[in-house]
Amino acid sequence: MTEGRFRDKVAVVTGGGKGIGRAVASLMACGGAKVVLSGRDAAALDAACAEIRANGGEALPVAGDVAKPSDADHLCARTLEAFGRADILVNNAGITRDNLVMRMSEEEWDQVIDTNLKGSFLCIRAFTRPMMKQRWGRIVNVSSVVGLAGNPGQANYVASKAGVIGLTKAVARELASRHITVNAVAPGFIETAMTSGLNEKVREALQAQIPLGRLGSPEDVAHAVAFLCSEEAGYVTGQVLSVDGGMRM
């Protein structure tokens, strides 16, 4: 990444303590952004921020649950209090509660929809006002390849990630006149905590479906997010960028 690509920008990353979120926050910080990391695991947030600071960056942890309106609002308020502005929002926070639909409990459905979809909405709502006042902003929502293609045993997760795509397109139309772009990335199978439990047989079967022959890394997704957050992507909005090794080709 070009050094200083995000100088003078403030970037907020939900689910920033681990996996894709941590990689995004680290890359933004390397590009000169001040980063705010949100998540429910305070220890993971502190560790991620310490790593960024050790590399010369500026990072602020804000523990909270984006599925709660008060926590989403607090995240925005804390960002503005600390840095005076908010330029970039990456809605990455997500959970899974996998089950076949005939066995899925209402609680499993609600938890996933609340975090993955409602949480993205709540954060967008909170951060839209300061971005509109600035007449500049970048919002990137993290969807999934399964939000485009479906996946058995994940009706709640698929619905949430498909909903994120619809949310992205609607908000992109609403905010375009204020020079705020809204896009989504749709990662394929990425080496994170969500995929760490896969046995070797399942992993080999997955890799056989991927033309590039490997699972992706969090950094693969982070580079795509960084592009969509950059000045270079100023004429890109309402789009879904698949980062899946060609899986859906």
Phi, psi values for residue 38, rounded to 5°: -115, 150
Spatial strand order of the sheet with 180-187 comes to 58-63, 34-39, 10-14, 88-91, 137-142, 180-187, 240-243
Q: What residues act catalytically?
A: 157
Neighbouring residues of 90: CB distance < 8 A, sequence distance ≥ 6? 11, 12, 13, 14, 21, 24, 139, 140, 141, 142, 225, 229
